[in-house]
Amino acid sequence: MSQSTSNLPPQEPIPNRLQGLVAIVTGAAGNIGFETARRYLLEGAKVTLTDIDGSNLVDVERALSDYVQNSSLKDKNDLILTVAADFTKEEDVQLVVDKTVAFFGRIDIALLCAGISYSSTSILDTDVDQYDKVMQVNCRSAFLGIKHCGRIMKMLGNGGSIVLVSSIAGLRATPGLSAYSASKFALRGLCITAAAELGQFNIRVNTVHPCGVNTPMFNLAWSEERRNNMLSTVPLGRWAEVADVAAVLSFLGSSDARFMTGGALKVDGGSVLN
């Protein structure tokens, strides 16, 4: 779990905005998952953290527990549940949903942000196994998350918010990342279809589309020259911070977004303007 390299002042959570709500966060050992889970907690939610990487998940729980203990929130044991799981496997997804309901009694928010990428490769040279793996992790996991979280939200009758973390690669051509782009565009199809089907149960479904996020991992993935070239296309002149993305994800989970569904919210500094 790497941290942002930003010198920007932190964005402040909105106290009690998510009070009484329960969230499942997939990909919780990643930057966006971790920061959003932290914000959920500080805004009053209870959180199930899940990731395929069990060892990193332990570190995430420890770090979030420190935030809880240094705040005015209750004991961490009442607020955080950790379940190591592979969200490409239906039995694992069902396990996470069942454990969350057994522990917290409800599910109100499903943040589906498990995902992987790869080094830039021409579509002519992209290995089919790489394509299949990217589609499994980025798209199948979201499908299963919608299916099982949506079912329990419908059964409980409280409605809910399901948020898929896509990318600007799901809105425009992304040469060199054909499989990644395909998976992120696929999330839009899942989103708008699920939004149309589940709206009658007051279940909202939206996608969020960040540009590059300023983390050590992102900075290592591209050469300085390539990063500078890409940054020249961002009107706001900087990369997204994990806090920028987490703020939008928290908003979508709250009642402030109660009349928003099927949306594609860009957190991209203006990278995609049409």
For residue 149, pLDDT over 50 is answered with: yes
pLDDT at res. 214: 86
Across the range 130-145, mean pLDDT stands at 97
> Residue 251: inside a domain, yes or no?
yes
Q: Please indicate, yes or no, if residue 131 is contained in any of the structural domains.
A: yes
Find out whether 238 and 210 touch, Cβ atoms under 8 Å: no
What's the domain count of the chain?
A: 1
Give the SS3 label for residue 208. strand
Flag whether 4 is in a domain: no
Task: Say if 181 falls within a structural domain.
Answer: yes
Question: Residue 112 and residue 166: Cα distance in Å, rounded?
Answer: 9
* pLDDT tens sequence across 217-232: 677 666 788 888 888 8
Domain that holds residue 77: 22-267
Domain annotation covers residue 10: no
Please name which of 13, 48, 11, 56 lies closest in space to residue 31, comparing C-alpha atoms: 56
pTM: 0.92
Is residue 9 in a domain?
Answer: no
pLDDT bucket at 109, cuts 50 / 70 / 90: very high
- pLDDT digits 0-9 by tens, 168-180: 999 999 899 999 9
Query: The domain spanning residue 53 has which CATH number?
Result: 3.40.50.720
Long-range contacts of 229-237 (CB under 8 A, 24+ apart): 233/271, 234/268, 234/269, 234/270, 234/271, 235/269, 235/270, 235/271, 235/273, 236/269, 236/270, 237/269
Q: Does some domain include residue 6?
A: no
Q: Is residue 46 part of a domain?
A: yes
What confidence score (pLDDT) does residue 227 get?
81
Asked whether 141 and 85 are in contact (CB, 8 A), the reply is: no
pLDDT at 68: 78
Tokens 């396990």 belong to residue: 95
State the pairing for strand pair 264-267/203-210: parallel
Q: What residues act catalytically?
A: 180
Strands of 39-79 (E only): list them. Answer: 46-51
**Considering only CA atoms, which of 122, 167, 162 is closest in space to residue 142?**
162
pLDDT digits (tens, 9 = 90+) for 2-56: 444 456 666 788 889 999 999 999 999 999 999 999 999 999 999 999 999 888 9
